[in-house]
């Protein structure tokens, strides 16, 4: 085992900032030492981190590598997507394994293990998408919790594909209440949305912006309230994924005020982009089609407030990239055929640092939202999400003064556009360690597929 000393950086955690040396032994953090303690002068390797932030590697709790959607696949594989994650300072992803209707959870999970095994550059875990709630799949939930898959996502949207009705959601939540799992909800009223989509197409409204107009924020608010009510009846904790609208946030905040175990995440696209991007001319809006859709700009202030008050506790990407050429273009002339999803796994840590620079959140809150809270939420803490003795040495050395411009020309995601093309960011990842090994340093990549390992997760740390 070799030792590494990360020397003289500003170690930022969710709760404190201290100038310290971080001593890494093999794959783990051994100790935080006072500056110049001399105890570690025999380290095999010394990394000078003066002038930088030393933070826990990012945990992106919501990605969809090579996910099938509408006859195509998300363009990042586990190999390319996890390499891009590493480039952007994210050292753990939690992806979604999918149960197909008529198949078991086991088959779905095995298929995702087969896709990811030997491919990932950083560590990874799985949530399970429950698409077919029945006696058998309910029993299988218990088994999966025992295997470290401790969160199950259901959809109130996409009738005929992933959709579960309220009865099925209630039954799965009751099962989760018994086995300690966290229920995750895609909360949009898909039954009503499908009517609005059909009406738009029938009247010749086919442009990408219609994707947003046919999924109004009220229908996210309604579904969020309904999910929270079902969770209350089932006495089950619930986590609302990719919350985008003020209406939904109000429902979450209200439930949290009563003490109910309701949690929510939002995503960078809802904080920085808006329906104006979806309305870009010449079909360019298709680049911004994701569900829930980008909202009018005035929702952003509410989301920032939610991040400060902790009604939103996590920022994940919902990374689900489709190339503009050949994939997004499938929806020319019919917005409902545009594959839903946007790239972002590489940009999250930088965008959230920009939020620190812009005064939206504190540095510690940046670390908490991007690493510590998702690790705790999904049973990975203290192994992930913190720099503490015994934790995995997933460490990012971040230069807060570097300037960069986000662009598809320079990103590492396997997708032909950036949703943030041309955006200036203050701050940049300098060095990334994944379990003690340097995988990115000074603009060079040293990672490799198969270095990342599968993470067996414990249950939610906030209950």
- State in angstroms the smallest separation of the CB of 67 from Zn ion: 8
Query: In whole angstroms, how close is the CB of 340 to Zn ion at the nearest point?
Result: 9
Query: Is residue 286 classed exposed, middle or buried when 0-12, 13-18 and 19+ CB atoms within 10 A define those classes?
Result: buried
Q: Name the minimum Å distance from CB 303 to Zn ion.
A: 17
Span of 48-56, 107-115, 313-321, 328-336 interacting with Zn ion by CB under 5 A: 313-321
Q: Considering the complex, state which of residue 318 and residue 350 has its C-beta at the smaller distance from Zn ion.
A: 318
Nearest residue (CB) to Zn ion, 220 versus 318:
318
Task: State which residue, 76 or 318, has the beta carbon closest to Zn ion.
Answer: 318
Report residue 113: phi and psi, to 5°. -60, -40
Sign for the CA dihedral angle at 380, 385, 389, 390 comes to positive
**Cβ neighbours of residue 387 closer than 8 Å, sequence gap 6 or more:** 11, 13, 22, 29, 32, 54, 55, 56, 395
| Shortest Cβ 450–Zn ion spacing (Å) | 25
Q: How far is the CB of 146 from Zn ion (least distance, A)?
A: 25
Give the 3-state DSSP-derived string for 291-360, with helices as H, strands as E and coil as C. Answer: CCCCCCCCHHHHHHHHHHHCCCCEECCCECCCCCCCCHHHHCCCHHHCCCCECCCCCHHHHHHHHHHCCC
Stretch that binds Zn ion, among 49-57, 273-281, 311-319, 324-332 (CB under 5 A): 311-319
Distances (CA, A) of 147 to 60, 103, 123: 20, 19, 16
Stretch that binds Zn ion, among 72-80, 219-227, 307-315, 316-324 (CB under 5 A): 316-324
Nearer to Zn ion (CB atom), residue 54 or residue 193 = 193
Q: Which stretch binds Zn ion (CB under 5 A): 228-236, 305-313, 314-322, 326-334?
A: 314-322
Of 412, 457, 417, whose CA–CA distance to 432 is shortest?
412
- Closest residue to Zn ion, judged by C-beta, is 318
- Residues contacting residue 31 through CB under 8 Å, at least 6 positions apart: 22, 23, 39, 389
Site for Zn ion (CB under 5 A): how many residues? 1
Non-local CB neighbours of 252 within 8 Å, separated by 6+ positions:
224, 228, 240, 243, 262, 263, 264, 306, 311, 312
- Among 188, 222, 265, 318, which residue interacts with Zn ion (rule: CB under 5 A)? 318
**Cβ closest to Zn ion, residue 318 vs residue 437:** 318
Residue whose CB is less far from Zn ion, 60 or 318: 318
**Stretch of 221-229, 312-320, 379-387, 436-444 lying at the interface with Zn ion (CB under 5 A):** 312-320
Identity of the residue, 185 or 249, whose beta carbon is nearer to Zn ion in the bound complex: 185
Which residues of this chain interact with Zn ion, rule CB under 5 A?
318
């Amino acid at each position: 085992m070799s030792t590494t000393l990360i020397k003289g950086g500003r170690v930022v955690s969710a709760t404190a900032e201290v100038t310290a040396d971080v001593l890494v032994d093999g794959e783990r953090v051994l100790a935080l030492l006072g500056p110049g303690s001399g105890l570690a002068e025999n380290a095999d390797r010394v990394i000078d981190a003066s002038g930088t932030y030393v933070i826990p590697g990012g945990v992106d709790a919501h990605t969809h590598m090579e996910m099938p959607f509408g006859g195509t696949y998300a363009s990042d594989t586990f190999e390319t997507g996890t390499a891009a994650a590493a480039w952007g300072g994210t050292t753990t992803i939690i992806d979604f394994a999918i149960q197909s209707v008529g198949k078991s959870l086991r088959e779905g999970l095995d298929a995702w293990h087969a896709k990811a095994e030997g491919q990932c550059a950083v560590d990874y875990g799985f949530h399970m998408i429950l698409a077919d709630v029945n006696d058998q799949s309910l029993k299988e939930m218990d088994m999966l919790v025992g295997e470290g898959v401790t969160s199950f996502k259901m959809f109130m949207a996409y009738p005929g594909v992933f959709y579960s009705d309220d009865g099925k959601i209630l039954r799965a939540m009751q099962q989760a209440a018994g086995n300690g799992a966290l229920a995750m909800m895609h909360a949009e009223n898909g039954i009503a949305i499908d009517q609005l989509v059909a009406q738009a197409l029938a009247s010749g409204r086919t442009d990408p912006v219609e994707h947003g107009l046919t999924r109004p924020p009220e229908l996210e608010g309604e579904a969020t309230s309904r999910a929270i009510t079902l969770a209350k009846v089932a006495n089950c904790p619930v986590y609302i994924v990719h919350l985008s609208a003020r209406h939904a946030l109000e429902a979450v905040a209200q439930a949290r005020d009563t003490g109910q175990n309701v949690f929510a995440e939002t995503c960078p696209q809802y904080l920085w982009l808006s329906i104006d991007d979806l309305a870009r001319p010449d079909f360019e809006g298709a680049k911004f089609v994701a569900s829930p859709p980008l909202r009018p700009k005035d929702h952003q202030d509410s989301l920032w407030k939610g991040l400060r008050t902790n009604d939103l506790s996590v920022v994940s990407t919902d990374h689900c990239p489709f190339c503009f050429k050949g994939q997004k273009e499938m929806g020319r002339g019919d917005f409902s055929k545009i594959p839903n999803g946007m790239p972002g796994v590489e940009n999250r840590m930088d965008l959230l640092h920009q939020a620190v620079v812009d005064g939206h959140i504190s540095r510690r809150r940046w670390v908490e939202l991007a690493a510590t809270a998702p690790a705790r939420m999904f049973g990975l803490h203290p192994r992930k999400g913190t720099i503490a003795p015994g934790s995995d040495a997933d460490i990012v050395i971040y230069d807060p003064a570097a300037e960069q411009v986000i662009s598809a020309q320079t990103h590492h995601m396997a997708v032909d556009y950036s949703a943030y093309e041309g955006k200036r960011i203050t701050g940049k990842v300098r060095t990334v360690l994944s379990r003690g090994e340097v995988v990115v340093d000074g603009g060079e990549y040293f990672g490799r597929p198969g270095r990342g390992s599968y993470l067996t997760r414990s249950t939610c740390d906030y209950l």
